[in-house]
Amino acid sequence: MKNNILKLTLALLVVFSYTSCEEDLVIYDADGGQTGLSFARASQTIEFCAGSGTVTVESTTRSNADRTISINVNSDLTSAMAGEYTVANSVTIPAGEFVGSTPIDVDFSAIPEGSSRVLALDVVAPDGTVINTRGTTQISFSSACTLNEVKFDFIFDNYPEETAWQLYDADSGDFIDGDTGFGNYDDLETFSVTLCIPDGNYDFVIFDQFGDGICCAYGNGSINGNLIACDGNSSLFDQIDEFGGQVVRSFSVGN
């Protein structure tokens, strides 16, 4: 019995030693070791206000010459369409450096409204190198308003069902959006709507069915309109609160 235990122990030691040696064949050393390549990040999101991002490739070693590392689009993981983004097919790691980067630009105007996209890239390991950790990176981006994004925020009084609103093109008189009747906000305390509209002049109209506005005898209601912009939001008009049965606020965007 003791001999069997001894033999089993020796066998396990041999297997362990062999496995350890196999794993230790890849030695990472800054100047003379095995080169391992990976992306700096497994994923990132590019927002509309940024417009672009950076794809960075890392190396475990450095070289006395520039190194060009190829990157390929992973079609199985990619939902983004050609024309929605621009990115190089390689990254250069400068001589003496461990990392190299290339920009990625997104054309948000090319993405259909309400759509989300993923661009997946694979780093290609040249002969004599290996993939270290992150061989694939995924870049996410979604459609965005490339015109003028406006937001209207409502705080209702005690009778939200009496409130309605409409937005018109002030020059043509065309109806843009809004309510065609009352009763849409019954039992709501607040409501917000965001629209994407072109440059122009607009009339924002608020109606109260009872004719007493939304403040202040029956609750402290108010309505605000803002232009949403990357460099900061700005008010479209003075806050609406006390009025009778109807009030119009005119505003312009992009001109």
Distance CA 42, CA 138 (A): 6
**Token pair in block for residue 30:** 């800054």
**Residues 152 and 242 reside in one and the same domain:** yes
User: What is the mean pLDDT of the segment spanning 30-41?
Assistant: 89
- Those residues with Cβ within 8 angstroms of residue 244's Cβ, 6 or more apart along the chain or in another chain: 208, 211, 212, 213
* Structural domains in the chain (count): 2
CATH number reported for the structural domain that contains residue 180 in this entry: 2.60.40
Examine residue 22 and state whether it is found in any structural domain, yes or no.
Answer: no
Last residue of a domain, one of 120, 142, 164: 142
Is residue 126 pLDDT above 60, yes or no?
yes
With beta carbons less than 8 A apart as the criterion, state whether 39 and 58 touch. yes
Q: Which of 156, 153, 166 is nearest to 246 (CA)?
A: 166
Domain end point (choices 142, 160, 189): 142
DSSP 93-135: E-TT-SEEEEEEEE-GGGSPTT-EEEEEEEEPPPTTEEE-S--
Confidence of residue 25 (pLDDT cuts 50, 70, 90): very low
Quote the CA–CA distance of 14 and 37 in Å, as a whole number.
32
Residue 5 resides in a domain: no
Of 126, 142, 158, which marks where a domain is finished? Answer: 142
pLDDT of residue 187: 93
pLDDT in tens, 65-104: 999 999 999 999 999 999 999 999 999 999 999 999 999 9
Q: Which domain holds residue 182?
A: 148-253
> pTM score, two decimals?
0.79
Mean pLDDT of the chain: 90
Closest CA to 34 of 126, 115, 156: 126
pLDDT (mean) for 120-129: 95
DSSP character for 215? S
Using 50, 70 and 90 to split pLDDT, how confident is the model at 148? very high
Q: How confident is the model at residue 32 (pLDDT cuts 50, 70, 90)?
A: confident
Cβ 195 vs Cβ 149: under 8 Å:
yes
pLDDT tens digits, residue range 173-184?
A: 999 999 999 999
Distance CA 70, CA 47 (A): 25
What CATH number has the domain bearing residue 46?
Answer: 2.60.40.1740
Is residue 233 in some structural domain? yes
**Residues 109 and 163 occupy one common structural domain:** no
Q: Are residues 58 and 125 in the same domain?
A: yes
Q: Residue 9: CB partners within 8 Å, gap ≥ 6?
A: none
